[in-house]
């Protein structure tokens, strides 16, 4: 019997760190240049709506666990198939984030260490987290949240203090001529659409009423942080330059120097990234593992975790040969062919099916 319970505080911190994961260092939609903040604001608002959509999906069915929700909508067998698909999707995204992680660490910390060492240690860490379970991760995230907010505040504080931010860089504030919304799929699927994984976590809350009341704060908070950070990046580097870098935040922060003592603040961004990356991968990994262990109840949970851990370890070598390919897949292929079906089409289908079943039942009842 699973009676894991997490509190609303823990969920908010988990969700904030989750949404900041990867996107904070990769820079959110910087290719939109000066208009990045408009697009980011739009994405955040969509994110809030998405949050309510996912929460509503569970609420109207009485907060069932994810696998029960799928069985409710698709029936026993088809539900299991969809569950496996979802688990694989979560695991795939986990591998993608892990890959981000590995590239980032090798590029900022070391220049000549084998990728597999970093991957191995990271996978061990994530497996350990998964073995300890969702509760331990949720509590850890409460503390990590404080650290992350502190780190980001420090970064913002020092970038203001060092005086390398140029007001001209963020102007024009609105440039309608180059405002291009054709990439909207990419804008809303990452990172906000990835909240679909919280369909697995929401049922474990101890107080569902407060989720509807306070849960959106996490989305807004991470939205505000992401907008602030991307504006700072643009203000320091200039919009055109910022769009060129893979890790624009690191590049921007590298330029800060104060009094000759405070330098190399990019360390702080590295810390922040490792924290949020850890939370993001663990959430995807734990959700994927939960799905798999439900489909195969014979296998021990620990065994599944280690099996999947080995899978994502090797997966991190297979999914992309190098960073450009990794980024290309991430920006062009995954949003359209993976994110859209799993984040929008399937949840809408679930909503439709459960709604129809509910009506049928009602009619029968009358």
- Give me the residues that bind other proteins (CB under 8 A), please: 1-4, 7, 9-10, 105, 109-110, 117-118, 121-122, 125, 128-129, 132-133, 135-137, 139-140, 142-144, 260-261, 263-264, 267, 270-271, 274-275, 278
**Lookup result for tokens 């894991």:** 4
**Lookup result for tokens 């906000």:** 192
Q: How many CA atoms lie within 13 A of 40 on its CB side?
A: 28
Nearer to other proteins, 90 or 101 (CB): 101
Nearer to other proteins, 121 or 244 (CB): 121
Contact criterion met (CB below 8 Å) for 186 and 257? no
Nearer to other proteins, 43 or 289 (CB): 289
Smallest distance, Å, CB 181 to other proteins? 38
Smallest distance, Å, CB 143 to other proteins? 5
Nearer to other proteins, 132 or 327 (CB): 132
- Within 10 A of 207 (CB to CB), how many other CB atoms are there? 13
Contact criterion met (CB below 8 Å) for 300 and 48? no
Nearer to other proteins, 49 or 268 (CB): 268
H-helix segments, the chain: 8-20, 23-26, 36-59, 66-74, 76-108, 115-132, 134-162, 184-189, 198-201, 208-214, 216-237, 239-244, 248-254, 266-295, 301-318, 323-328, 334, 346-365
As given in the structure block, the two tokens for residue 71 are 């069985």
Nearer to other proteins, 4 or 41 (CB): 4
The sign of the torsion formed by the CA atoms of 9, 10, 11, 13 equals: positive
Q: At a CB cut-off of 8 Å and minimum separation 6, what does 157 contact?
A: none
Pairwise CA distance, residues 235 & 163, whole Å: 11
Smallest distance, Å, CB 161 to other proteins? 18
Question: b/e string for 280-295 if b means 16 or more Cβ within 10 A?
Answer: bbbbbbbbbbbbbbbe
Nearer to other proteins, 30 or 308 (CB): 308
Smallest distance, Å, CB 276 to other proteins? 12
Smallest distance, Å, CB 366 to other proteins? 41
Smallest distance, Å, CB 151 to other proteins? 12
Pairwise CA distance, residues 17 & 253, whole Å: 20
Smallest distance, Å, CB 109 to other proteins? 6
Helix axes 301-318, 266-295, angle to 10 degrees: 130
Nearer to other proteins, 231 or 301 (CB): 301
Nearer to other proteins, 12 or 227 (CB): 12
Smallest distance, Å, CB 1 to other proteins? 7
Which of 59, 91, 119, 161 minimizes the C-alpha distance to 342?
91
Pairwise CA distance, residues 212 & 52, whole Å: 7
Smallest distance, Å, CB 105 to other proteins? 6
Contact criterion met (CB below 8 Å) for 142 and 10? yes
Nearer to other proteins, 126 or 227 (CB): 126
Smallest distance, Å, CB 77 to other proteins? 28
């Amino acid at each position: 019997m699973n009676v894991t319970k997490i509190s609303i505080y823990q969920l908010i911190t988990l969700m904030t760190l989750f949404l900041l994961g990867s996107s904070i260092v990769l820079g959110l939609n910087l290719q939109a240049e000066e208009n990045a903040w408009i697009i980011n604001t739009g994405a955040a608002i969509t994110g809030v709506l998405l949050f309510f959509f996912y929460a509503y999906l569970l609420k109207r069915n009485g907060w069932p666990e994810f696998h029960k929700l799928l069985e409710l909508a698709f029936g026993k067998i088809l539900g299991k198939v969809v569950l496996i698909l979802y688990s694989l999707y979560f695991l795939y995204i986990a591998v993608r984030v892990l890959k981000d992680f590995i590239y980032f660490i090798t590029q900022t910390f070391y220049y000549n260490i084998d990728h597999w060492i970093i991957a191995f240690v990271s996978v061990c860490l994530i497996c350990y987290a998964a073995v300890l379970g969702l509760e331990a991760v949720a509590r850890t995230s409460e503390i990590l949240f404080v650290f992350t907010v502190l780190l980001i505040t420090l970064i913002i504080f020092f970038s203001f203090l060092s005086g390398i931010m140029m007001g001209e860089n963020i102007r024009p504030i609105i440039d309608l001529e180059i405002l291009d919304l054709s990439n909207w799929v990419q804008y809303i699927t990452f990172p906000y659409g990835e909240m679909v994984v919280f369909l697995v976590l929401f049922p474990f809350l101890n107080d569902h009423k407060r989720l509807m009341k306070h849960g959106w704060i996490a989305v807004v908070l991470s939205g505000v942080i992401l907008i602030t950070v991307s504006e700072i990046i643009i203000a320091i580097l200039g919009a055109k330059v910022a769009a060129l870098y893979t890790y624009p935040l690191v590049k921007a922060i590298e330029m800060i120097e104060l009094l000759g003592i405070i330098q190399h603040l990019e360390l702080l961004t590295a810390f922040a990234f490792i924290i949020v990356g850890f939370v993001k991968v663990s959430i995807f990994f734990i959700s994927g593992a939960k799905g798999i262990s439900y489909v195969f109840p014979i296998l021990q949970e620990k065994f599944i975790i280690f099996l999947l851990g080995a899978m994502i370890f090797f997966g991190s070598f297979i999914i992309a040969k190098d960073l450009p390919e990794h980024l290309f897949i991430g920006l062009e292929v995954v949003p359209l062919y993976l994110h859209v079906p799993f984040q929008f089409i399937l949840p809408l289908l679930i909503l439709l099916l459960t709604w129809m079943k509910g009506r049928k039942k009602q009619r029968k009842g009358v």
